[in-house]
Amino acid sequence: MPAPLRLRAVTAEEQEQIAHLRRSKTAPARLVERARLVHLAQEGQSANQMAAHLHLDGDTVRRWLKSFNAQGLAGLSDQPRPDRPATYTAEEVSLVIATALTSPAAVGLPFASWTRDRLAAYLNEVKGLPSKRSRIDDLLLREGLCWRQQARWFGERVDPAFAEKRGPSRRSTKRPRRTQPLSA
């Protein structure tokens, strides 16, 4: 059988804050629940009674009361959790950005601009950096860079001999026949 819980002496200031928190409609729900837990412990309820009343696990009740005993009201707040470790080092991120800002022709490739797929393939095959197009997009957006839409040429053609190569244009629809007016 686990040792009985003992709540440390609660100061008047803590008592006032707990009373305010347990009735709060705007405080985070977890904090309100933990304040209610401390209040029930002050009333002398056991861990199992508190767990049943608040629909919690007994271990959870014990953990939060231990935290309150050790740290006071600060112990009722969620502690920050570590972030996911970075998948790319700062050097790899700078390589992706530098490559994206470099012209493909400058590195000997036969096209004029990068696409996400081309950049991912180049980084994988030439630079040895395993990367996906979505991850590259995230890295570039985080640096304030974004992809341009492919240009669409509606004006003058790039090839000056285009008209000669194309040949004469033909009508795609037939001209309507003229009809004679009906005579009466």
Element (H, E) at 138: helix 133-142
Residues 98, 82: contact at Cβ < 8 Å? no
Q: Cα separation of 90 and 142, whole Å? A: 13
Whole-number pLDDT of residue 147: 72
Q: Cα separation of 146 and 16, whole Å? A: 52
Whole-number pLDDT of residue 15: 92
CATH architecture of 12-76: Orthogonal Bundle (1.10)
29-49 pLDDT per residue, tens: 999 999 999 999 999 888 889
Whole-number pLDDT of residue 172: 72
Q: Could you tell me the residue ranges of all domains in the chain?
A: 12-76, 82-144
Whole-number pLDDT of residue 4: 62
75-109 pLDDT per residue, tens: 999 888 787 776 788 898 899 989 988 889 898 88
Whole-number pLDDT of residue 14: 92
Stronger pLDDT, 21 or 152, i.e. the higher one = 21
51-71 pLDDT per residue, tens: 999 999 989 999 999 999 999
Whole-number pLDDT of residue 131: 84
Element (H, E) at 46: none
Q: Cα separation of 44 and 168, whole Å? A: 97
Residues 139, 93: contact at Cβ < 8 Å? yes
pTM tops 0.85, yes or no: no
Residues 86, 99: contact at Cβ < 8 Å? no
Residues 76, 67: contact at Cβ < 8 Å? yes
Residues 123, 131: contact at Cβ < 8 Å? yes
Whole-number pLDDT of residue 182: 67
Q: What is the DSSP letter of 76?
A: G
114-159 pLDDT per residue, tens: 888 899 999 999 999 888 888 888 888 888 887 765 555 555 556 7
Residue with tokens 């347990």: 22
